[in-house]
């Protein structure tokens, strides 16, 4: 069903669809980021597509790729019962110029999804009415879900108490807390590298 949908999109927006693939009944199109909004409008308004619902909009960071980010939108037609995943690749290797058109004028649900995407990945949505952080606080520096954001970097809003050994305060010993967590894992791997184990 959705394969016909992809053919329909290709026919009406020639050259905009760069890649398609389908797996386990899920159809995906990779589109030209410059024509992101145009394709979204076609998918929403064309009676043969009729994608009334934007389920989610997010991004994926592939640091080894150029363009580095993939913005992903999941669309559903409630009337026709088909789904489509639409992707566009944006941004250079340093994570600058990550820009794409906003879908807020087509789906109201894109508003918060795009704010979250901006908050976590730093994707800037052109034409978004209120593009600011939604989960993190305004003082937060950087974008936490980018792969080059250090996994253990926190940015506290209040100064931590002036106590010795603030990482593990008594009564907690150095091994307590998350024994399965990254800190233990890091310690173990560094020990392995030293050849002590």
Residues that bind other proteins (CB under 8 A): 135-137, 144, 149, 151-158, 160-161, 163, 166-167, 169-172, 176-178, 180-183
Residue number with CB closer to other proteins (158 or 193) = 158
Q: How far is the CB of 145 from other proteins (least distance, A)?
A: 9
Q: How far is the CB of 171 from other proteins (least distance, A)?
A: 4
Q: How far is the CB of 173 from other proteins (least distance, A)?
A: 10
Instruction: List 83's β-bridge partners, or say none.
Output: 76
Q: How far is the CB of 137 from other proteins (least distance, A)?
A: 5
Q: How far is the CB of 156 from other proteins (least distance, A)?
A: 6
Residue number with CB closer to other proteins (112 or 149) = 149
What crossing angle do the helices spanning 36-45 and 2-12 adopt, rounded to 10°? 120
Residue number with CB closer to other proteins (157 or 193) = 157
Residue number with CB closer to other proteins (30 or 149) = 149
Residue number with CB closer to other proteins (81 or 156) = 156
């Amino acid at each position: 069903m959705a394969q016909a949908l992809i053919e329909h999109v290709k026919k009406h927006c020639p050259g905009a669809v760069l890649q398609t693939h389908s797996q386990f009944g899920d159809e995906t199109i990779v589109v030209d980021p410059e024509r992101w909004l145009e394709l979204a409008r076609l998918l929403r308004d064309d009676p043969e597509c009729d994608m009334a619902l934007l389920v989610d909009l997010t991004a994926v960071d592939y640091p080894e790729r150029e363009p580095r980010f993939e913005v992903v939108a999941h669309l559903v037609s409630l009337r026709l019962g088909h789904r489509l995943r639409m992707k566009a690749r944006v941004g250079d290797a340093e994570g600058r110029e990550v820009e794409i058109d906003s879908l807020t004028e087509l789906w109201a649900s894109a508003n918060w999804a795009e704010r979250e995407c901006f908050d976590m990945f730093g994707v800037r949505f052109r034409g978004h009415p209120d593009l600011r952080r939604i989960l993190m606080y305004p003082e937060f520096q950087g974008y936490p879900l980018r792969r080059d954001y250090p996994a253990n970097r926190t940015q506290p809003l209040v100064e931590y108490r002036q106590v010795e050994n603030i990482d593990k305060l008594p009564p907690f010993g150095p091994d307590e807390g998350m024994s399965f967590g990254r800190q233990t894992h890091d310690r173990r791997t560094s020990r392995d590298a030293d050849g002590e184990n």
